[in-house]
Each structure stands twice: as structure tokens, then as C-alpha cells.
Amino acid sequence: MLSLLLDENISDEIARQILAKRVDIPIFSAHDWEEGRLRGVSDEMVLRAAAEAGLTLVSYDVNTIPLLLMRLANEAFVHGGIVFVHNATIRSNDYGGLMRALIQLYDAEKEAEWKDRLYFLPPPA
């Protein structure tokens, strides 16, 4: 089942607003999840924590996370899935667009297996 963890570079307001509209969507912000223990830590630590908790990471970091995944693949690391958001598709300041796209993703993919899955979030319909 799809459960989302927004990385530190995505406003925690996104998770709050989605939860206000849809309490059925398991979505967390790195700013608040587990008392904010992921704030300021490395991408690897965030990825490992998300995997341990069975969460799918949502990130605009389309440059360094793929390189990290290639390195971790040598360790047979299994992650909980990653949803990449590209700034050319949904701007980082387009909170409404990002919220609609994440809700659409959840509705379409909530029952899917997300282990080791990579997904590029399209703009909302």
C-alpha cells in the first residue's frame, strides 16, 4: 500500500493540506515525521529510514538520488519506492498542483507494490 514521505525540500504544508482534505491518505513530511529526526540528514539516511518504515519517498531531487540508488544497488538495498517530481512538470511553489498530483497518484496506485519502484509524477489532470 502506498504511504508517502515528503522529503525536507517539500513544504510540510503539502502534507497538512492533503490530510485536511483526505484523511485516508498516509502522507508524512520529513519536517514532522518521527519528531523531525530526518531534518538536515543525508539523502541516504532519509532513504534508509523511509525504506525501514515502508514509506515511499517523494522528492524533487532528480539529480543526486538516482546516483545514490545506483551506489546502494551494489548493496542489494531495497527501498520503499521513490516518486520523483520534476520542477519543469510541477513547480516546487505550485502547492495546489503538487497536492492534486499526489492525490491522483494515491487514488490510482494505493494498492500497488512500491518496493524498488521509481515513478515520475505527471502534472495533475
Task: Yes or no: say if 78 and 51 are a contact pair by the CB < 8 Å rule.
Answer: yes
Q: What is d(CA 88, CA 46) in angstroms, rounded to the nearest whole number?
A: 24
Query: Which pLDDT band, with edges at 50, 70 and 90, does 117 fall under?
Result: very high
Q: Hey, what's the cell of 24?
A: 485516508
Q: What is d(CA 28, CA 118) in angstroms, rounded to the nearest whole number?
A: 19
Give this prediction's pTM. 0.94
CA dihedral sign, ordered 85, 5, 47, 37: positive
What does DSSP say about strands 56-59 and 82-84: parallel, antiparallel, or unpaired? parallel
Domains of the chain (ranges plus CATH)?
A: 4-120 (3.40.50)
Specify the residue for cell string 493540506. Answer: 17
Percent of the chain with pLDDT over 90: 91
- What is the H or E stretch that residue 12 is in? helix 12-21
What are the tens digits of pLDDT across the range 32-87? 999 989 999 999 999 999 999 999 999 999 999 999 999 998 888 999 999 999 99
